[in-house]
Amino acid sequence: MGKSLTLLMVLILAGMAGPLRAEGWLAGVGKSRITPEGPVWMAGYADRSRPADGTLCDLWARALYLEDARGERLLLVTLDLVGIHRDLSQSLAGVLAARHGLERRQVVFCTSHTHSGPVVGDNLSSLHYRMLPPEHQWRIDAYEKFLEQRILEAVASALDSRAPCELSWGNGRAAFAVNRRTNPEAEVPARRAAGQLAGPQDHDVPVLAVHSPEGALRAVVFGYACHATVLSGFQWSGDYPGFAEQTLEQDYPGCVALFWAGCGGDQNPLPRRLVPLAQQYGHELAGSVKQVLDAPRTLIRGNLVSRYDEVDLPFASLPTRAQWEEDARSDNRYAASRARGMLKQLDEGQAIPASYPYPIASVVLGDGPEWIFLGGEVVIDYAVRLKSERKGVRTWVAGYANDVMAYIPSRRVLREGGYEGSGAMVYYGLPASWSDEVEERILAAVGQQLP
């Protein structure tokens, strides 16, 4: 009699605790189309002269919700966009906290950095938003409101679809990314054929698989360190990452495929410019993911641990007002645009900030990979160094996460200069190049999150 009563109590308590979980995990997925519905300006290139005029493939917001056996939660949102700015990231995080009780450390936004998506607010402000006439600025503002609503819809779908799952991970490889600082684009085919491409580079394809207890693939999350710059026309497209996501979702019905961009700030898909090449690279990347899915993977057990911090990254010496006034008269319209913005700020009594609040997040997936999320267009040196100093292919390093405010050069790239080292800062509207402390500050912050 006593044993029967004990068994009954165990069953009752198990029912109160919710559904039984395979390996202790719950997961939910959602997606929402974010292709602009009107003539919005495209992001990423300075030489575009008009808004988009068609759609090659739709753009999407995708969401993956994870919860461990303790109730610790994580929300990953991936976006087929060139980037998002700090204000949008913070606003979305605030709404998710109010609606769903998610803390800032439990939410990660990743962008694919496609150059065939729309301008988002004042991201790349001196390249796009400030340079456009009011009617296009109005359309960009309206698109951002549309985007925020669609992201929230994808998140709601992910939360509503929570169910027991099994997590596993593996690692593939794709070789179409080329270091653009060390390989002239015109020479890449010959150098590749001769095995003479110069690095550094990172061709790993990290894969996280989410299966139902019955074995159905519900979601696959994968990354790659390479610019999404195959295409430069006037049609909406997720570029090669969009084609990879599309291929995986077609080959695994019911699955949501989520791409995150690695530290590809100085890596290009080469050769490029043609739609068949974007499709080819997308199929190659999807094929690498499928090889991982078809091979034995490592199950993930244990608990989620997540962190989020903002580190003050210092700029080098700031220009004086006289220098801004000179730049405002420059023949370089982007430098002049940035200078006018800085002068307006000074005229309103606001100081030019000497540093930027740089976002760094990390997630430990139980006994599986550690996942580091860095803001901005991070160059490949960060991934190479973090993997070598930490856990190799078990260390996943994403760039373009939470806030894409500028290029993030390593000390080597900063000292070499060039576009990634300093030249691109003008397009992002930041006041100066970074101080040579930035690499060590970022690595130290990562070390504090993941001792």
**Neighbour-count burial for 349-386, b at 16+ CB within 10 Å, e otherwise:** eeeeeeebebbbbbbbbbebbbbbbbbbbbbbbbbbbb
Q: What is the pLDDT of residue 17?
A: 36
DSSP structure class, residue 258: E
Q: Which amino acid is at 370?
A: E
Residue entry with tokens 């949102």: 77
Nearest to 412 by CA among 112, 113, 192, 182: 182
> What pLDDT digit, counting tens, does each position of 136-195 carry?
999 999 999 999 999 999 999 999 999 999 999 999 999 999 999 999 999 999 999 999
Residues 371, 373, 374: CA angle, nearest 5 degrees = 145
Residue 344 lies in a domain: no
Q: Compute the average pLDDT of residues 257-278.
A: 98
**Spatial distance between the Cα atoms of 49 and 433, rounded to a whole number of angstroms:** 28
The residue that leads in pLDDT, 415 or 4, is 415
- 3-state DSSP assignment of residue 396: strand
Residue 299 lies in a domain: yes
DSSP codes, 35-92:
--SS-PPBPS-TT--S---EESS--EEEEEEEE-TT--EEEEEEESSS---HHHHHHH
**Spatial distance between the Cα atoms of 127 and 124, rounded to a whole number of angstroms:** 5
> What pLDDT digit, counting tens, does each position of 327-377 carry?
999 999 999 999 999 999 999 999 999 999 999 999 999 999 999 999 999
Q: Compute the average pLDDT of residues 11-34.
A: 66
Token digits for 45? 């290139």
Q: How confident is the model at residue 10 (pLDDT cuts 50, 70, 90)?
A: very low
**Spatial distance between the Cα atoms of 213 and 22, rounded to a whole number of angstroms:** 6
Q: Does the pLDDT at position 131 exceed 90?
A: no
Q: Compute the average pLDDT of residues 400-415.
A: 97
Residue 35 lies in a domain: yes
Q: Which amino acid is at 375?
A: G
Q: Does the pLDDT at position 446 exceed 70?
A: yes
At what angle are helices 239-251 and 275-294 packed, to 10 degrees? 50
Q: What is the pLDDT of residue 188?
A: 97
pTM, to two decimals: 0.94
Nearest to 235 by CA among 114, 136, 139, 148: 114
Q: How confident is the model at residue 78 (pLDDT cuts 50, 70, 90)?
A: very high
Mean pLDDT of the chain: 93
- 3-state DSSP assignment of residue 376: coil
Asked if 297 and 369 count as a contact pair (C-beta separation under 8 A), the reply is no
Q: Compute the average pLDDT of residues 47-76.
A: 96
Q: How many CA atoms lie within 13 A of 11 on its CB side?
A: 6
Q: Does the pLDDT at position 23 exceed 50?
A: no
Asked if 374 and 408 count as a contact pair (C-beta separation under 8 A), the reply is yes
Q: Does the pLDDT at position 382 exceed 60?
A: yes
**Spatial distance between the Cα atoms of 114 and 80, rounded to a whole number of angstroms:** 6
Q: Which amino acid is at 143?
A: Y
Asked if 379 and 413 count as a contact pair (C-beta separation under 8 A), the reply is yes
**Spatial distance between the Cα atoms of 159 and 167, rounded to a whole number of angstroms:** 17
Domain that holds residue 284: 20-307+357-431
Alpha helices (H) along 319-430? 321-327, 333-347, 380-389, 411-416, 418, 425-428
> What pLDDT digit, counting tens, does each position of 303-316 carry?
999 999 999 999 99
Q: Does the pLDDT at position 21 exceed 80?
A: no
Nearest to 159 by CA among 103, 79, 96, 236: 96
Q: Which amino acid is at 39?
A: P
Q: Does the pLDDT at position 444 exceed 50?
A: yes
Helix (H) or strand (E) holding 159: helix 134-160
DSSP structure class, residue 134: H
Q: Which amino acid is at 72?
A: E
Residues 141, 145, 147: CA angle, nearest 5 degrees = 110
Q: Does the pLDDT at position 22 exceed 60?
A: no
Q: Compute the average pLDDT of residues 69-75.
A: 97
- Determine how many CB atoms are found less than 10 A away from the CB of residue 236: 24
Residue 343 lies in a domain: no
Residue 168 lies in a domain: yes
Asked if 379 and 408 count as a contact pair (C-beta separation under 8 A), the reply is yes
Residue 243 lies in a domain: yes
Residue 443 lies in a domain: no
Q: What is the pLDDT of residue 20?
A: 40
Asked if 74 and 63 count as a contact pair (C-beta separation under 8 A), the reply is no
Sheet holding 355-365, edge to edge: 304-314, 355-365, 370-374, 395-398
**Neighbour-count burial for 152-170, b at 16+ CB within 10 Å, e otherwise:** bbbbbbbbebbebbbbbbb
Q: Does the pLDDT at position 9 exceed 60?
A: no
Q: Compute the average pLDDT of residues 379-392.
A: 98
Domains held by the chain: number: 1
**Spatial distance between the Cα atoms of 239 and 277, rounded to a whole number of angstroms:** 10
**Spatial distance between the Cα atoms of 226 and 378, rounded to a whole number of angstroms:** 10
- Taking the CA atoms of 340, 343, 348 and 350 in sequence, report the sign of the dihedral they define: positive
Q: Compute the average pLDDT of residues 34-40.
A: 94
Residue 327 lies in a domain: no
Nearest to 300 by CA among 392, 204, 165: 165
